[in-house]
Amino acid sequence: MELGLVTSGDALAFVDAQLPGLIDAKIGSRIAAEDPTIWGPAAQAESSIRLGWVNPFDAADKLIPAIQALRDELVDEGLTRIVLCGMGGSSLAPEVICAHDEVDLVICDTTDPAMLAPIINTDLEHTVVVVASKSGSTVETDSQRRAFTAAFQAAGIDPATRLVLVTDPGSPMDNPQGVRAVFNADPNVGGRYSALTAFGLVPSGLAGADIEALVEEAGLLHDVLNVDDEDNLALHLGAAMATTGRDKLVIAGVGDALPGFGDWAEQLIAESTGKESKGVLPVVAHVGAPELNSVAADVLPLYIYDELPEQIDEDATAVHFSAPLGTSFMIFEYATAVAGYLLGISPFDQPDVEAAKVAARSLLDAPAAAAPDAVDGTVQLFGTTADTLAGALEELTGKLGQDGYLAIQAYLNRNEDTALLALRDELAAKTGRPVTFGWGPRFLHSTGQYHKGGPAQGVFLQVTAEHPAAEDVQIPGRPYSFGGLITAQAIGDAGVLSDAAHNRPVLRVNLTDRKAGIAALLEAAK
């Protein structure tokens, strides 16, 4: 895979205008030197403890042999099914790495019991579970660990032989008792920048990915990103991301280029830049997406290739990118930090993420069942004055401004309920506006920051489902189930989005029958 970056149209003019200032301010070399003053006095305290991602190589060199040694042990014992329990950046980077290397890694980044139950109850005889949490107290991963521990015990398997933990030093999870191994990550790296740290390397390496080659790829570019000149690809890409007026970055992979990379880039860019009513909204799409067939004035297409095309339309506004995976991680991390500098925000905090967690916890402590505003067949409607599903969708999309976007938030089974993905293109074509699609609750750890902290442009379609008691999964040691948890997470986030401080329009569509409800949604969107 070749290395290349070409920007064209309006974005190139913006890049050309910004590069001299970035070079004069020595932003490239200052990031490489881990200078926390780049993003201003208010951001300095957080930046000073969040720049370890710039040089992950020494830590990786020490970590990789230990990962490979453990993998060899596991393979010798016939333990070849690796499950990763992690949220946000803790799961998205390993998912991309393993897809790139075509090795199997089971991602468990949900609280939906319909998705969890098959993962927990499959082939435990050959299963090792990696639990990854920076804080060591993430509610989803703690709940998943409890469920797997109980499942191993019920199967007569000692959990201490099957659990591998990845966490920051000193966290509640940093305890070797009762587990196979604990890997410490660099505490000076935030979750979304952690692709080349223990969070990305441990599960990927245990699954069989070539993590040594991945880190070597990234290292080859380190000197290039340290230079303050026009050849620094990160300065160029960061300036393109921050193009004035084009704050919707539509990311599309061409062919088989870096499968899943758009989802990883989405969480990095959205959570890093979406705050103080500013930000860049990443929209993960595909080459034939409506947003790219007719490019709106506030949209910047970003195409990812295995190899850059020989001919590029210099008049059409777009960014064209190609690089190996390890290199791509580094370039996008640097570029996102550069975009934060140009936008005047700190790219390392996430001030609006905690509110949704607090709201969910309060609902778990005191559950309250609200009556729907309307019922249309197998669909219950919340947050609407319409009495039909089609009418509720019309009401929601009617609130889109000329610079608006629609976010579909699907608190469903992303392994089985994939028919819903077609709704994204339907609504993008119908509204003429960018549409994002996020599986809940994993997006709460990434784009959830942008939804609440970024520009007040979004309208939100939540899709939830019923969790019959016979199909629900209880969380050991907790007074609530996974069905109760995911419902509280959805309703809690909706409450924060629509409260007086944020005032974002939210329509919740609750499916009493998933298959029929998804079909009804697709039909109503037409």
Q: Is the backbone peptide bond immediately before 159 cis, with ω within 30 degrees of 0?
A: no
Q: Give the C-alpha separation, 185 to 192, whole Å.
A: 13
Does pLDDT of 421 surpass 80? yes
**φ/ψ of residue 16, rounded to 5:** -60, -35
Q: Is the dihedral of CA 513, 519, 522, 523 positive or negative?
A: negative
Range scoring the smallest mean pLDDT among 1-15, 140-154, 164-178, 372-386? 1-15
Domain assignments of the chain as residue spans, ordered by start: 4-26+228-343, 54-216, 354-525
| Mean pLDDT value across residues 7-18 | 96
| Mean pLDDT value across residues 467-485 | 96
Q: Give the C-alpha separation, 418 to 18, whole Å.
A: 41
Pick the CATH number of 4-26+228-343 from 3.90.470.20, 3.90.1150.10, 3.40.50.720, 3.40.50.10490: 3.40.50.10490
| Mean pLDDT value across residues 4-30 | 97
| Mean pLDDT value across residues 113-124 | 97
Rounded to the nearest angstrom, the gap between the alpha carbon of residue 487 and the centroid of all alpha carbons in its chain is 20
pLDDT at 365: 82
Distances (CA, A) of 520 to 137, 373, 381: 38, 18, 13
Q: Give the C-alpha separation, 457 to 76, whole Å.
A: 53
Task: Tell me the pLDDT tens digit for each residue of 312-363.
Answer: 999 999 999 999 999 999 999 999 999 999 999 999 999 888 888 888 888 8
Topology of domain 354-525, per CATH? Rossmann fold (3.40.50)
DSSP assignment of 306-338:
SS--S---SSS-EEEEE--HHHHHHHHHHHHHH
Q: Give the C-alpha separation, 268 to 203, whole Å.
A: 19
pLDDT at 28: 97
pLDDT at 357: 84
Structure-model confidence comparison of residues 150 and 366, the more confident one:
150
pLDDT at 352: 86
The band of 264, judged by pLDDT with boundaries at 50, 70 and 90, is very high
3-state helix, strand, coil in the chain (%, to 5): 45, 15, 35
Q: How are strands ordered across the β-sheet holding 318-322? A: 4-8, 318-322, 299-304, 248-253, 281-284
pLDDT at 6: 96
| Mean pLDDT value across residues 228-239 | 96
Q: Give the C-alpha separation, 483 to 41, whole Å.
A: 43
Strand partners, 278: 275
Tokens 């989405």 appear where?
Answer: 266
Task: Tell me the pLDDT tens digit for each residue of 161-219.
Answer: 999 999 999 999 999 999 999 999 999 999 999 999 999 999 999 999 999 999 999 99
pLDDT at 167: 97
The separation between the first and the last C-alpha atoms of the chain, rounded to the nearest angstrom, is 40
Q: Is-same-fold flag (4-26+228-343; 354-525)?
A: yes
Q: Give the C-alpha separation, 325 to 328, whole Å.
A: 5
Which CATH architecture best describes the domain 54-216?
3-Layer(aba) Sandwich (3.40)
pLDDT at 492: 94
pTM over 0.85: yes
Strand partners, 508: 382, 462
pLDDT at 1: 66
Record the tokens describing residue 29, joined without a space: 């070399």
Task: Tell me the pLDDT tens digit for each residue of 427-468.
Answer: 999 999 999 999 999 999 889 999 999 999 999 999 999 999
SS3 letters across 31-52: HHCCCCCCCCHHHHHHHCCCCH
Does pLDDT of 370 surpass 90? no
Does pLDDT of 103 surpass 70? yes
| Mean pLDDT value across residues 458-481 | 96
Tokens 């660990």 appear where?
Answer: 145
Task: Tell me the pLDDT tens digit for each residue of 38-60.
Answer: 999 999 999 999 999 999 999 99
Does pLDDT of 247 surpass 70? yes
Mean pLDDT score across all residues of the chain: 96
pLDDT at 356: 83
Percent of the residues in the chain that have a pLDDT greater than 90, as a whole number: 94
